[in-house]
Amino acid sequence: MALDPATQAQVVIAAAIIAGPQGSDSDVKRHTERIATYLIDGSLPMSAFAAAEQKAQNTSQLKSFPATIIGIDKENTSTRAVLFLRTKPSEHHPNGQETVRTERTDSDAGRNDALTLQSLIGHKVFIHVAVERTGTNNVRVIRSWEDKGVDPNYNPADPAWQFDYSALPTQQRRKLATQQQQPVQMQQAPVPMPLQQTPVPIPMPQYG
């Protein structure tokens, strides 16, 4: 891709700043070549813009609401972490429990988000969620959150603070890592999630 003169000037200025006041013309040239390479179509930095644009195109709705994180699991089919939230009961969530997903945990960003959110079990958060189209499905993906500290009412021994797996559709429940480790039984009573004060690590991808 051809760079217009204004962009070329910005690249040279950036290269000169990186080289520093003691940098030689050769140093500036070296940094200019490196920065210019970033601006080529298909480079890793430019692919980030393409990914962000695609994500924006696939986003149909944005939501923000307060909640308490009561658990986390992993969706094996997508590698996303599934966050279990306690919120106010609503028409779509009469039991006051909702789920949102992180980015895929086979990416650094998704994995880091999952591990951070896992450490916030029992915390109040204000979360910002995007409804994204993935194929033929809509997925609620957490974009960001604000940690509001430990919820003083959080009690993992109380069934009201345990995620009710049985409320999930069977197909969705079977995709979760913890539910694949044991037979899924339909019961009249809710199936509680075994929570502890210290979060149990969810199975995350291993990187060599």
User: pLDDT value at position 38?
Assistant: 87
Q: Could you tell me the sign of the dihedral formed by the alpha carbons of 109, 110, 111, 113, in that order?
A: positive
User: For the chain, which residues score pLDDT lower than 50?
Assistant: 182-200, 202, 205-208
b/e for 46-57, b at 16 or more Cβ within 10 A? eeeeeeeeeeee
Q: Which CATH class, in words, describes the domain spanning 60-180?
A: mainly beta
pLDDT tens-digit series, residues 120-146? 999 999 999 988 877 777 888 999 999
**14, 35 contact by CB (below 8 A):** yes
User: pLDDT value at position 193?
Assistant: 43
Chain centre to alpha carbon of residue 176: 16
User: pLDDT value at position 24?
Assistant: 94
Which residues of the chain does CATH 2.40.50 include? 60-180
User: pLDDT value at position 181?
Assistant: 53
- 3 state DSSP class of 102: strand
Contacts (Cβ under 8 Å, ≥6 apart) of 157: none
pTM comes to: 0.65
**137, 161 contact by CB (below 8 A):** no
User: pLDDT value at position 194?
Assistant: 45
